[in-house]
Amino acid sequence: MKTIKKHQFGDVCAFELGFSLVGQPLMTVNCFVVGNVLIDTGQSHMRKAVLDIVGTHKIAAVLLTHHHEDHSGNAAAIKKVFDIPVMAHPLTIDKMRRSYKIFPYQHWVWGATTPVELDLLASGFYENERFKFQQIHAPGHSKDHTVFLEQNNGWLFSGDLYLGDRIKYFRADEKIGDQITSLKNILTFDFDGLYCCHNPRPQNGKKHLAAKLQFFEDFFGKVSFLAEQGLNEKEIMRELHLKEQQMIKLICFGNVSMRNMVSSVINDHQE
């Protein structure tokens, strides 16, 4: 099943895209149209819909937040069909020059990303007659993770920096310390609209991002304290009454779990 839902937030148009082999999609992802700019490209399973969006809205440029397949899945197709710039951080450009392995669940839910030569946003800004986007590196969810601040209206296109006020699981390669640093940095900028690709918050966005930072700092402190007492990951989870999302962990072959989040704290604390 393929689903497409359009959400209009003033001048920001979100297209929520979902795909499932059977039944309702397990997860959806948003790509955003602002004037003639597209932020992120959705999953390759939804390629036709995304190409239709690009054509209908006469998109002139694409901004990518990071290389993950639910955000970059149609970058190569857009470049090939429309011959427009798809701009990204240098680390994203390097990552997407060649193919890379993903887990089976990522193939099922999102589809693979096709290698592509992306374009460098050399000045760190993309500007047209109405909008000005500032590229800000915000690693932690991935090494290349980037957000785009639309300065004229105070809109933050945050990729996967937010996701929610409280987080229930982590990918194995996420780094909580880097995310805390990135959140602190981004909160120094002026914005209200928070356009997360999985959980948009068009109002009070800075408040929600600050809530996530507070949650992470509290979590980091509690796990670090228990680790210093000699407790291991399993014991820390039991002591803090942390619940594993067993179905998610099973489907993702352990690549996504609460235990990964605990491990990230321990690893960062020991460095």
Give the span between the Cα atoms of 222 and 27, in whole angstroms. 30
63 found inside a domain: yes
- Asked if the model's pLDDT at residue 174 lies above 90, the reply is yes
3-state DSSP of 24-89: CCCCEEEEEEECCEEECCCCHHHHHHHHHHHHHCCCCEEECCCCCHHHHCCHHHHHHHHCCCEEEC
Q: At which residue do the structure tokens 């060649």 appear? A: 98
- Asked if the model's pLDDT at residue 157 lies above 70, the reply is yes
Predicted local distance difference test score (pLDDT) of residue 59: 98
Q: What is the CATH number of the domain that holds 183?
A: 3.60.15.10
Predicted local distance difference test score (pLDDT) of residue 271: 63
What DSSP designation does 106 have?
A: H
- Asked if the model's pLDDT at residue 270 lies above 80, the reply is no
235 found inside a domain: no
- Asked if the model's pLDDT at residue 92 lies above 70, the reply is yes
Can you tell me the mean pLDDT for 175-197?
Answer: 98
User: Is residue 101 within 8 Å of 75, Cβ to Cβ?
Assistant: no
Task: Give the domain range for residue 13.
Answer: 2-218
Give the three-class secondary structure for 114.
Answer: coil
255 found inside a domain: no
User: Is residue 175 within 8 Å of 268, Cβ to Cβ?
Assistant: yes
29 found inside a domain: yes
242 found inside a domain: no
Count Cβ atoms within 10 A of the Cβ of residue 22 and give its class: 0-12 exposed, 13-18 middle, 19 or more buried.
Answer: exposed
Give the span between the Cα atoms of 220 and 262, in whole angstroms. 8
* 60-83 confidence digits (pLDDT tens): 999 999 999 999 999 999 999 999
Count Cβ atoms within 10 A of the Cβ of residue 33 and give its class: 0-12 exposed, 13-18 middle, 19 or more buried.
Answer: buried
Nearest to 254 by CA among 173, 197, 167: 173
Q: How confident is the model at residue 211 (pLDDT cuts 50, 70, 90)?
A: very high
Can you tell me the mean pLDDT for 167-176?
Answer: 96
User: How many CB atoms sit inside 10 A of residue 80's CB?
Assistant: 11
95 found inside a domain: yes
Measured between alpha carbons, how far apart are the two ends of the chain, in Å?
Answer: 45
* 214-262 confidence digits (pLDDT tens): 999 999 999 999 999 999 999 999 999 999 988 888 889 899 999 999 9
- Asked if the model's pLDDT at residue 49 lies above 90, the reply is yes
Number of independent structural domains in the chain = 1
270 found inside a domain: no
226 found inside a domain: no
Can you tell me the mean pLDDT for 112-141?
Answer: 96
